[in-house]
Structure 1
Amino acid sequence: MKYMTGFILLLLMQNVFAAHCQVDGGPWVDMKTSPLDVHVDLRLDKDAGKVTMSGYSVRCMHDFPGWYPDSNKQYFSTVASGLILGPTVMDYGSGMDILGALLPWPVSAGRYLALHDRLTPVVDLPVKVYFDIPTAPGKYIKIKPGAFLAVVLLFVTYNFDSPQYPAYRMRINLIARNGVDSSPSTCVINNNLPINIDFGSVDAVAIGTSIFNTPYKKDFRLRYSCDGPSVNSPITVKWQATPSAFHTHAIATSKQDAGVILFRPDSSALVGPGGEIRSTITNSSGSTEVSFALVKKPDTFPDAGPFTASGTLTLMLP
């Protein structure tokens, strides 16, 4: 009798563990097999001369078993040539914000961004890149919403040797959630059209001597609009005109004893020649309510007939 002897070969597949990271509390991503897409808010900081990133969080966790020693650690560190800029920003100077230190690229390898141990399974990973605003005349930085900003490569290592925890590179993709533009914006009042204030038929006897006792007032809304990048800023509107001889806040008209006062109806604040109106522009638009009042020199009766006056409003940004 012949016997057949067989062997069963058992193949044991060993699990390989890797860090898992999430963006803004979203799903966990295996960083050994997949990149992490991070959408960031860009901020144009002209004082610092940089475009910085904010408005997002990256958190990572390890998979250390509970019986691993407390001294076991997982490190995230920079990689040589680990910043690959997107096509629309590759001509700008750049660097990394590592724990508050702004380091121009290339950043040397081996700079730690975060570390885990078994007792702290989840940590924040500060992945921040900045761009320099060009300073040469006629040069600006412009980034559109949705632009691919950069690939950041980080090295994940351990302070122990285990085939289950090999060192590897992880990839983070940075994508612009909003746009920025450092080129000058053009802001205008009422589309740069003349402002015509018509007091209509005026009784010289009825004209008052102040904004409180004259019946001749005209309300007007100054509307502000800007072309170019989105503008969010306080503004100043300068009122320039020839002052009248009888009232410090009135501008002169073609009638010697008549003047026009610009004021804020919400506060009755007078804006004399050379004065300013403070306001704001948000998302490249804004407005201010103003009023014009026709007044006369006390104890006079301005001559009958048409009259004119003129002035200029100039919008100024900081």
Structure 2
Amino acid sequence: MWRLADISMKYMTGFILLLLMQNVFAAHCQVDGGPWVDMKTSPLDVHVDLRLDKDAGKVTMSGYSVRCMHDFPGWYPDSNKQYFSTVASGLILGPTVMDYGSGMDILGALLPWPVSAGRYLALHDRLTPVVDLPVKVYFDIPTAPGKYIKIKPGAFLAVVLLFVTYNFDSPQYPAYRMRINLIARNGVDSSPSTCVINNNLPINIDFGSVDAVAIGTSIFNTPYKKDFRLRYSCDGPSVNSPITVKWQATPSAFHTHAIATSKQDAGVILFRPDSSALVGPGGEIRSTITNSSGSTEVSFALVKKPDTFPDAGPFTASGTLTLMLP
């Protein structure tokens, strides 16, 4: 009896070990250093930053990292490899973007939809267990009059199906499809926007009472300066863009960077207080607008022609700041 029990236990143990050896392995992927996801059983949700590239005529993706690893045992040959490649009809667009032209950016090559099968995105062998998986989709900005692309934050952009294969045969490493869901983290809109400075209200710079003797000849020796923050705002869709603010005014006759005033020997200089850079008539200020707003610190300085004393009495000067987007 003891021998039969002993034999039975050995048989059961051997059966359990045999089952454990039949496990099927799969790639595991993560987003931005997050938890590893078994790609054979679960999809990977990837939130992406969208960028409106009007020069290229496309909406592109950035701001995320997808990494995948294999689980090859250490005793596997170094030549064993795992491949990630496209499958036929493997780009499925979300409902809000399905009417736009689209494609995949595969290692810098822009391939329009439908993308053919067998395009490799990444591969790795036993010695490189973790690789970057460059999953990128782009959308074409419509060029027809009155047509624009508009994507809201949180929009479901696309499903990307990839084929995971191996260069060796093993029941523990069968080929399979993996799914990646692309979701918009921000919104983009290619329709026209209106951006203004100072809510489109006049900017009034008042130097107060001025002593003609004390007026300096440069921004460094005049006591009459006024700081002002140029505030930018845009209506309509969210705007994220570099901008140029052009300063237009009648130049002074005695200083190349000053604008003329109603007093012949007095002028006003616009400059950047952070760098003391002078912005003369026709000059430009470069800044940025983020999420449809932005600002720039500037200063105005009252200066005079050397060896003169401007006439007493009120004076005026005027100029125009024009905000330009690329």
Same fold (TM over 0.5): yes
Q: Provide closer, same or farther for how the CA distance between residues 32 and 280 of structure 1 changes in structure 2, counting only shifts above 3 A.
A: closer
Give the TM-score taking structure 1 as reference length: 0.79
Q: For residues 161 and 61 of structure 2, what CA distance do their matches in structure 1 show?
A: 17
Q: Provide closer, same or farther for how the CA distance between residues 135 and 245 of structure 1 changes in structure 2, counting only shifts above 3 A.
A: same
Q: Provide closer, same or farther for how the CA distance between residues 62 and 295 of structure 1 changes in structure 2, counting only shifts above 3 A.
A: closer
Please report how far the alpha carbon of residue 81 of structure 1 lies from its aligned counterpart in structure 2 after TM superposition.
0.8
Pick aligned residue for 1:13 from 17, 21, 28: 21
- Residues 1:278 and 2:290 are matched in the alignment: no
Give the TM-score taking structure 2 as reference length: 0.78
Please report how far the alpha carbon of residue 15 of structure 1 lies from its aligned counterpart in structure 2 after TM superposition.
3.9
- Residues 1:100 and 2:79 are matched in the alignment: no
The root-mean-square deviation of aligned C-alpha atoms, in Å, is: 5.0
Please report how far the alpha carbon of residue 151 of structure 1 lies from its aligned counterpart in structure 2 after TM superposition.
0.6
Q: For residues 5 and 27 of structure 1, what CA distance do their matches in structure 2 show?
A: 34
Q: For residues 299 and 89 of structure 2, what CA distance do their matches in structure 1 show?
A: 61
Q: Provide closer, same or farther for how the CA distance between residues 184 and 201 of structure 1 changes in structure 2, counting only shifts above 3 A.
A: same
Please report how far the alpha carbon of residue 63 of structure 1 lies from its aligned counterpart in structure 2 after TM superposition.
4.6
- Residues 1:65 and 2:73 are matched in the alignment: yes
Q: For residues 206 and 84 of structure 2, what CA distance do their matches in structure 1 show?
A: 70
Q: Provide closer, same or farther for how the CA distance between residues 256 and 123 of structure 1 changes in structure 2, counting only shifts above 3 A.
A: closer
Please report how far the alpha carbon of residue 79 of structure 1 lies from its aligned counterpart in structure 2 after TM superposition.
1.3
1:289-304 matched pairs, under 5 angstroms: 289-297=297-305, 302-304=310-312
Q: Which runs of 5+ in 1 are unaligned?
A: none
Identify, as 1 or 2, the structure richer in helix. Answer: 2
Q: Provide closer, same or farther for how the CA distance between residues 29 and 258 of structure 1 changes in structure 2, counting only shifts above 3 A.
A: closer
Could you report, residue by residue, the CA deviation over 1:9-42 in whole angstroms, capped at 9, with x for unpaired residues?
A: 9999954443333333333323222212122233
**Equivalent residue number for residue 215 of structure 1:** 223
Q: Which runs of 5+ in 2 are unaligned?
A: 1-8
Could you report, residue by residue, the CA deviation over 1:121-142 in whole angstroms, capped at 9, with x for unpaired residues?
A: 4443332222222233333333
Q: Provide closer, same or farther for how the CA distance between residues 72 and 231 of structure 1 changes in structure 2, counting only shifts above 3 A.
A: same
Q: For residues 248 and 22 of structure 1, what CA distance do their matches in structure 2 show?
A: 58
Q: Provide closer, same or farther for how the CA distance between residues 263 and 167 of structure 1 changes in structure 2, counting only shifts above 3 A.
A: closer
Could you report, residue by residue, the CA deviation over 1:24-83 in whole angstroms, capped at 9, with x for unpaired residues?
A: 333332322221212223333333332222333333344555666665544332111111
Q: For residues 275 and 66 of structure 2, what CA distance do their matches in structure 1 show?
A: 48
- Residues 1:132 and 2:140 are matched in the alignment: yes
Pick aligned residue for 1:202 from 210, 233, 256: 210
Please report how far the alpha carbon of residue 184 of structure 1 lies from its aligned counterpart in structure 2 after TM superposition.
3.8
Pick aligned residue for 1:45 from 40, 46, 53: 53
Q: For residues 282 and 65 of structure 2, what CA distance do their matches in structure 1 show?
A: 49
Q: Provide closer, same or farther for how the CA distance between residues 251 and 132 of structure 1 changes in structure 2, counting only shifts above 3 A.
A: same
| Mean Cα deviation higher: 269-278 or 102-111 | 269-278
| Mean Cα deviation higher: 235-244 or 118-127 | 118-127
Could you report, residue by residue, the CA deviation over 1:104-134 in whole angstroms, capped at 9, with x for unpaired residues?
A: 1111112233345455544433322222222
Could you report, residue by residue, the CA deviation over 1:194-233 in whole angstroms, capped at 9, with x for unpaired residues?
A: 0112233344555555545544433322223333455454
Structure 1 counterpart SS, 2:303: strand
Structure 2 counterpart SS, 1:2: helix
| Mean Cα deviation higher: 4-13 or 110-119 | 4-13
Q: Provide closer, same or farther for how the CA distance between residues 199 and 38 of structure 1 changes in structure 2, counting only shifts above 3 A.
A: closer
Could you report, residue by residue, the CA deviation over 1:73-108 in whole angstroms, capped at 9, with x for unpaired residues?
A: 443321111111111211221111223322111111
| Mean Cα deviation higher: 37-46 or 279-288 | 279-288
| Mean Cα deviation higher: 292-301 or 72-81 | 292-301
Structure 1 counterpart SS, 2:10: coil
Could you report, residue by residue, the CA deviation over 1:281-301 in whole angstroms, capped at 9, with x for unpaired residues?
A: 445443333333344455655
Q: For residues 188 and 268 of structure 1, what CA distance do their matches in structure 2 show?
A: 25
Q: For residues 25 and 4 of structure 1, what CA distance do their matches in structure 2 show?
A: 41
Q: Provide closer, same or farther for how the CA distance between residues 60 and 250 of structure 1 changes in structure 2, counting only shifts above 3 A.
A: closer
| Mean Cα deviation higher: 255-264 or 32-41 | 255-264
**Equivalent residue number for residue 6 of structure 2:** none
| Mean Cα deviation higher: 240-249 or 63-72 | 63-72
Q: For residues 24 and 73 of structure 1, what CA distance do their matches in structure 2 show?
A: 24
Q: Provide closer, same or farther for how the CA distance between residues 153 and 306 of structure 1 changes in structure 2, counting only shifts above 3 A.
A: same
| Mean Cα deviation higher: 211-220 or 105-114 | 211-220
Identical counterparts, % of pairs = 100
Please report how far the alpha carbon of residue 148 of structure 1 lies from its aligned counterpart in structure 2 after TM superposition.
1.2
Pick aligned residue for 2:265 from 257, 270, 289: 257
Q: For residues 44 and 16 of structure 1, what CA distance do their matches in structure 2 show?
A: 42
Please report how far the alpha carbon of residue 2 of structure 1 lies from its aligned counterpart in structure 2 after TM superposition.
31
